[in-house]
Amino acid sequence: MSSIQLTPTGKLRHFLTIEGLPRDMLVSILDTAESLTSVKDRSIKKVPLLRGKTVANLFFEPSTRTRTTFELAAKRLSADVLNIAMSTSATTKGESLLDTLRNLEAMHVDMFVVRHAQSGAAHFIAQQVAPHVSIVNAGDGRHAHPTQAMLDVFTIRRHKPDFGGLTVAIVGDIRHSRVARSQIHALNTLLTGEVRVIAPQTLLPADVETLGVKVFHSLDEGLRDVDVIIMLRLQRERMQGGRLPSEHEYYQQYGMTTERLAIAKPDAMIMHPGPINRGVEMSSSVADSPQSVILEQVSHGIAIRMAVMSMAMQHNQPDKAPQAAT
Amino acid sequence: MSSIQLTPTGKLRHFLTIEGLPRDMLVSILDTAESLTSVKDRSIKKVPLLRGKTVANLFFEPSTRTRTTFELAAKRLSADVLNIAMSTSATTKGESLLDTLRNLEAMHVDMFVVRHAQSGAAHFIAQQVAPHVSIVNAGDGRHAHPTQAMLDVFTIRRHKPDFGGLTVAIVGDIRHSRVARSQIHALNTLLTGEVRVIAPQTLLPADVETLGVKVFHSLDEGLRDVDVIIMLRLQRERMQGGRLPSEHEYYQQYGMTTERLAIAKPDAMIMHPGPINRGVEMSSSVADSPQSVILEQVSHGIAIRMAVMSMAMQHNQPDKAPQAAT
Amino acid sequence: MSSIQLTPTGKLRHFLTIEGLPRDMLVSILDTAESLTSVKDRSIKKVPLLRGKTVANLFFEPSTRTRTTFELAAKRLSADVLNIAMSTSATTKGESLLDTLRNLEAMHVDMFVVRHAQSGAAHFIAQQVAPHVSIVNAGDGRHAHPTQAMLDVFTIRRHKPDFGGLTVAIVGDIRHSRVARSQIHALNTLLTGEVRVIAPQTLLPADVETLGVKVFHSLDEGLRDVDVIIMLRLQRERMQGGRLPSEHEYYQQYGMTTERLAIAKPDAMIMHPGPINRGVEMSSSVADSPQSVILEQVSHGIAIRMAVMSMAMQHNQPDKAPQAAT
């Protein structure tokens, strides 16, 4: 999986999943994002890194929110952006996905940002595209949402810079969450501490044991000594077959309240990928508390996406001589 | 109401309603628009006043026309523009309006252009946003449509520069019209003459006496000695309960024809916010007559929106030292 | 027809149809496109030819694909682009097409790219617009799709540079195809060879004899000694009354297969305006064969549209003194 994401010389070509990416690459993304966060504070919030490049947002699944952050990131890099809602496009005229891709390539689109309801869609596309094109996965089925995971670890690193010995708990519907899956890979690669998942058995994936996490079914137990709490969104639209009794009951057992938050470390950060269901995943008092960094996450999402896009776009640039100084 | 629109030093921060804005501020908007009208005649129709800024069009009510003029105005100021059709966005995922706003703020959007079916929506949003964000009201319920009113008075001033002693008649559905309400405030603040409203009793607001206008029920009587005639659009979509018998009957009584236009002063201007219902509010011969300035209004709408956007965006810039020259 | 497309001094003002345009003008478009093809290979894929200009895509008929190529072409020329889906715009508020046009003109839009289901729509609009505005026809009913025809002849010229004595066959539903009509005019103006159409009688237009083509009903016969094969898309959405028995039967008689391709000259090019119905107009092996230039066509579509847009936008520039050098 990782080989397709990197060039032979180890540069980022596609960004599809955290899984298999070396630690150095993740750190490099975080560092690039760090250098780009200042762009938002300039009076002119633009850098010319992608000037004259064309980025196409291929959203097979609608998502105003994610599309907007990618669009903003691309525009702040000075790229031209095409928004293509795939359901209404040529595929309805009987054109296959592959033909659509070949056509966009022929129009000299440089990067596709892909969201798709099917796991593996971004990989499939990455395997097919021309050498000059890069793919960024903006969420595929239950599989991965790697820019979300990177903005999460970026947010953690900004508050707890050394990552050393941190305990991070992910709470909620792990089973249906591409976000959780990517977070676990990112945290395990970068963290020296412990990753916990807290969920009822029905909301855990079958392979949870292989993910390198400690499983808790009780929120109160799982929160003990935790530095970072990541609440997942209850993906009602992805759930079938009544795994959950009701939102009310869920909140009773797994909703974050001020009282429960007090079980974690006093300086524990509370995170959520958004949009929040207030009163389901957490109370409003928690969402708006000083420990909440939820809006910081949104803000850092732009910087992370700028970092990933600009790094991937350089994959076909000639290497700069690395020992030029000596 | 006005206090929220101005900074402590009296600069424009939000542009929500004409009501309560000082005369100087309105004149300053008109003068800025005047200086920006020449942009459209340049071969490169751009000024860098908003370069690197992000403007989000938040349209809770669809309006291609108004959205397009704001989008063009923002682009001619070199801003990046996000179009967010709010009905299809995260609010359908159960996210509250406030969470949506906080998220867009976190993405470092600098300005929201808001259109909403509910009166007061733009004010509500302005009360909530972060210090760096400006709100421009693009129409809220029956309350206000202040950029429309400003482009109207701008168009009047271009033809009758001194504003002195002008008589202006507003004809039609005053009751349901945010445009009329804003026009009346603008005209009363800027004009030394008389503002008339001409409408059947059923299409007048309950508080019409307090608005500082002279009421006429007969079009023929109300048009006498008038310098400027503003026809309102018949807002069929906002009317309920049969206040109007039929479009045909309306045209008989309140439709503008060449004959009726002759009752006003010979150089009377005829205006309409568009889109016109030909044969309902006015005949085609009136709409296309030399006295009609309806298309000028559209053109000036860009300049006024550029003026308001660039002025509001400067609210958090440091004041330039005013006596620098001495 | 041609007079409306050219200024009195013979410059391109509108681009509505190939019919009636002089050979020199078509060659000039091809040459300009040739000089612009290199733009796509630059690291910054932009030229400032339309900087500060506003291009509005007026699509009365949805077409993501064509709209996207025009949008990309305009952006690579540095224009600002407005996408206006006309069905959802002010025309639904009862505003006439003409009022919509007048309004967009008043907003200082410089160019309209028009797609419409009705033949003649682009001409009608071109007859109405203000002197500074240019119209580019992006497909009107069964009438014309001139940029498609130009990108086709551009693609042919790149492979067979002298155009001399070529035999070109157009295969499929000539009757309902605006593409075929424009291709025939372009080929007859530029080519010294022979233009053939291959179709069943039911899919030929009534006036086929007047178009200057040689008619074949048998694919095998028509392909003999052919240099260029243009397959048309089966316009299922434009067909009524059962002129065709079934897609399967069509493929049996007029579908391009590797075997049939072998009837043409060994270096025959195979073309298609896209999107392809694989297994209807041609087999996948033909679509993806080395003789296929279908994706090149897409790529050249950007260059041709850039050429047409930049040439039309110069119609109201002063002529540069042509003998300045002497």
For the ranges A152-161, B246-255, C317-326, which has the lowest average pLDDT? C317-326
Residue A40 has pLDDT above 90, yes or no: no
- Residues in chain C with CB shorter than 8 Å from the CB of B298 are 102-103, 106-107
CA A92 to chain centre: 29
CB atoms within 10 A of CB C55: 25
Fold agreement (C2-145+300-313, C147-295): yes
Model confidence at B249, pLDDT cuts 50, 70, 90, reads confident
Main-chain dihedrals φ then ψ at residue C155, nearest 5 degrees: -65, -40
Q: Domain ranges for chain C, please list them.
A: 2-145+300-313, 147-295
Q: How far apart are CA C42 and CA B183, in angstroms?
A: 52
Taking the CA of residue C305 and the nearest CA in chain A, the distance in Å comes to 12
Across the interface, do B40 and C108 touch by the CB < 8 Å criterion? yes
Q: How far apart are CA A262 and CA C47, in angstroms?
A: 59
Contact between C307 and C70 (Cβ < 8 Å): no
Q: How far apart are CA C168 and CA C12, in angstroms?
A: 27
Q: How far apart are CA A84 and CA C68, in angstroms?
A: 9
> What is the DSSP code (8-state) at residue B278?
B
Contact between B232 and B174 (Cβ < 8 Å): yes
Instruction: Please give the pLDDT value at position B240.
Output: 58
Q: How far apart are CA C298 and CA C273, in angstroms?
A: 8
In 3D, which of B304, B150, B144, B286 has the Cα closest to residue B229? B286
For A69, nearest residue in chain B (alpha carbons): B107
Across the interface, do B275 and C93 touch by the CB < 8 Å criterion? yes
Across the interface, do A108 and C299 touch by the CB < 8 Å criterion? yes
> What is the DSSP code (8-state) at residue C144?
B
Across the interface, do B95 and A274 touch by the CB < 8 Å criterion? yes
Q: Per-residue pLDDT tens, chain C, 326 aa: give them.
A: 458 999 999 999 999 999 999 999 999 999 999 999 988 777 788 899 999 999 999 998 888 889 999 999 999 999 999 988 776 554 545 567 888 889 999 999 999 999 998 999 999 999 999 999 999 999 998 899 999 999 999 999 999 998 889 999 999 999 989 999 999 999 999 988 999 999 999 899 998 989 999 999 999 999 999 999 999 998 766 555 666 668 888 899 999 999 999 999 999 999 999 889 899 999 999 999 999 999 999 999 999 999 999 999 998 776 544 343 33
Q: How far apart are CA A95 and CA C273, in angstroms?
A: 12
- Looking at domain C147-295, its CATH class is alpha beta
The chain A residues in contact with chain B (CB within 8 A) are 40, 42-46, 62, 64-65, 68-69, 71-72, 75-76, 274-278, 295-296, 298-299, 301-302
Main-chain dihedrals φ then ψ at residue B200, nearest 5 degrees: -70, 155
Across the interface, do A107 and C43 touch by the CB < 8 Å criterion? no
Model confidence at A243, pLDDT cuts 50, 70, 90, reads low
Taking the CA of residue B84 and the nearest CA in chain C, the distance in Å comes to 14
Instruction: Please give the pLDDT value at position A1.
Output: 47
- Please give the interface size between A and C, counted as residue pairs whose CB atoms are below 8 Å apart: 63
How confident is the model over B113-140, as pLDDT tens digits? Answer: 999 989 999 999 999 999 999 999 999 9
Taking the CA of residue C316 and the nearest CA in chain B, the distance in Å comes to 11
- Of the partner residues B94, B99, B107, the one whose CB lies closest to the CB of residue A68: B107
For residue B22, is the peptide bond before it cis, meaning its omega torsion is within 30 degrees of 0?
Answer: no
Instruction: Please give the pLDDT value at position A325.
Output: 33
Tokens for C69? 């190529």
- Topology of domain B146-294, CATH: Rossmann fold (3.40.50)
How confident is the model over B184-225, as pLDDT tens digits? Answer: 999 999 988 999 999 999 899 998 989 999 999 999 999 999
Give me the residue label for tokens 């002759």.
B262
For residue A275, is the peptide bond before it cis, meaning its omega torsion is within 30 degrees of 0?
Answer: yes
Q: Which of A51, A99, A101, A107 to mutate: most C Cβ within 10 Å?
A: A107
Please list the alpha-helical segments (H only) found in chain C.
Answer: 2-5, 23-37, 64-76, 97-106, 121-128, 146-159, 178-190, 219-222, 247-254, 258-261, 284-287, 294-313
CB atoms within 10 A of CB A146: 32
Instruction: Please give the pLDDT value at position C158.
Output: 96
Q: How far apart are CA B198 and CA B218, in angstroms?
A: 7
Q: Which residue has the higher pLDDT, A103 or C209?
A: A103
Q: Which of C37, C59, C65 to mutate: most A Cβ within 10 Å?
A: C65
For the ranges B93-97, B296-300, C278-282, which has the lowest average pLDDT? B93-97
Q: Which helix (H) or strand (E) holds A148?
A: helix A146-159
Across the interface, do B107 and A44 touch by the CB < 8 Å criterion? no
Half-sphere exposure in the Cβ direction for B227 (13 Å, CA): 20
How confident is the model over A172-229, as pLDDT tens digits? Answer: 999 989 999 999 999 999 988 999 999 999 899 998 989 999 999 999 999 999 999 9
Residue A2 has pLDDT above 70, yes or no: no
Listed in sequence order, the residues at least 6 apart from B284 whose beta carbon sits closer than 8 Å to its beta carbon are: B278
Tokens for B107? 């993405």
Q: Which of C99, C100, C129, C316 to mutate: most B Cβ within 10 Å?
A: C99
Across the interface, do A88 and C62 touch by the CB < 8 Å criterion? yes
- Residues in chain B with CB shorter than 8 Å from the CB of A296 are 106
Across the interface, do B72 and C53 touch by the CB < 8 Å criterion? no
Model confidence at B325, pLDDT cuts 50, 70, 90, reads very low
Percent residues over pLDDT 90 in chain B:
72
- Residues in chain B with CB shorter than 8 Å from the CB of C103 are 65, 274-275, 295, 298
- Residues in chain B with CB shorter than 8 Å from the CB of C89 are 64-65
Render C177-216 in DSSP notation, one character per residue. Answer: -HHHHHHHHHHHHH-SSEEEEE--GGGS-TTGGGGT-EEE
Chains that touch B (3 or more CB pairs under 8 A): A, C
Tokens for C133? 């505005």
Main-chain dihedrals φ then ψ at residue C175, nearest 5 degrees: -55, -45
Place domain A148-298 in its CATH homologous superfamily.
Aspartate/ornithine carbamoyltransferase (3.40.50.1370)
Q: What phi-psi label fits residue C283: left (phi over 0), alpha (psi between -120 and 50 degrees) or beta? A: beta
Q: Which architecture does CATH list for B2-145+300-313?
A: 3-Layer(aba) Sandwich (3.40)
Taking the CA of residue B212 and the nearest CA in chain C, the distance in Å comes to 32
